[in-house]
Chains A and B, each alone.
Chain A
Amino acid sequence: MTMQKVQTSTHVENTPEAVMAYIADVKNRPLYLPSLKAVSDVKGGPGAGATWKWTWVMFGAELQGAGRCLDYQPGKLYSFRTEGGITSTWTYRAAPEGKGTKLTIEVEYTVPERVLPRLRTDPHKAEVEHVLQNLKTILDK
């Protein structure tokens, strides 16, 4: 397995507190994550230790797994990890920028080495850029 990392940023016309509060609400996630169909069985608040189940749609199949919040600092940081066969860690960071927020998403994930040479483009990068664009669409005032 090889660890890969994707990082991308954008400016959102909203406060860091509002941006991170929206991201920390697990139930909002299917609205802006293109391949995420649903989250269910959410246990715990938005802070560290909260867990949920997710359903991801890929190539017409539905993958179901679990997620766990690793850290939540209102207005600053939210991090979670997907657990099971597909392991990835998503970290959202917010910092004041002008009258809005600089929002950065960093995703670390593992890919089997034999698959790596076949990936012409990084599917996670496209997904993460889409997520960022969607969050901007939703949260821009």
Chain B
Amino acid sequence: MNGSILPGVLWCAAAAAGVAYTVLFLLARRPAAIRLGRVGLALCVVLAFRLILLGVGHPVATVWEAVVAGVALVGAVGFGLARRVWLVNVTAEEFREQVQMSCRGLFLPCAEAAPGHFLLTAKEGTWPLRLRRLSRRMQLVVGPCPGGRGKATLFVHWLSKQYPGPMPRVRIILKRSEP
């Protein structure tokens, strides 16, 4: 046995968290999304922890660990580059209806040039929004990535609220205190 078990524990914990996150998403009954950018960020955190372990005297001891670290690094970069990609658990029709409803509410012209190819046009510019069906209740969405505080940014904020991550949320129902 070479080195400590800490790096192994780190990789196992990261893998378990990834599996749990995916299972929660697949089983989620409420609208939820996996945003690849956030997965990339999580991988960066894991890699940062591994670097800390490296710094305190836990070297990469096996070829397998080097491969795992390499895959994690490539994943972090790849998911970071694909940060506009979301997986959402909704039917294409429901998603389309929601997009059109919110664009109407924002006075944000939204044209569907071809099925699943939307163009959002605001004063600040035009942004594409792609919708690709993976299964009946699973869509791949490539969202717009606007900067600033324009209507397209409001659209992305709204989308984030409608499709949060799959982690269960505490729900507090406030009862009316007045008679």
Please give the residue numbers on chain A whose beta carbons come within 8 Å of chain B beta carbons, in ascending order: 27-28, 30-32, 34, 36-38, 57, 60-66, 83-87, 133-134, 137-139
Contacts and interface: CB of A to CB of B under 8 A. Distances in A.
Given A133-B149, A138-B151, A85 B174 contact: yes
Contact of A84 (B107, B169, B176): B176
A31 B174 contact: no
B14 interface: no
A65 B172 CA distance: 9
B161 A137 contact: no
A62 B177 contact: no
Contacts of A36: 161
A63 B172 contact: yes
Nearest to B155: A31
A9 B161 CA distance: 26
Interface centre among B157, B158, B173 (most CB of A within 10 A): B173
Nearest to B165: A60
Q: What band does the interface of chain B fall in when counting residues whose beta carbon is under 8 Å from A?
A: 20 to 34
A51 B155 CA distance: 26
Contacts of A133: 149
B178 interface: yes
B102 interface: yes
10 contacts: A63-B174, A64-B173, A65-B174, A83-B176, A84-B177, A85-B177, A87-B177, A133-B149, A134-B154, A137-B149
Given A133-B149, A137-B151, A64 B161 contact: no
A62 B175 contact: no
B164 to A, nearest CB: 8
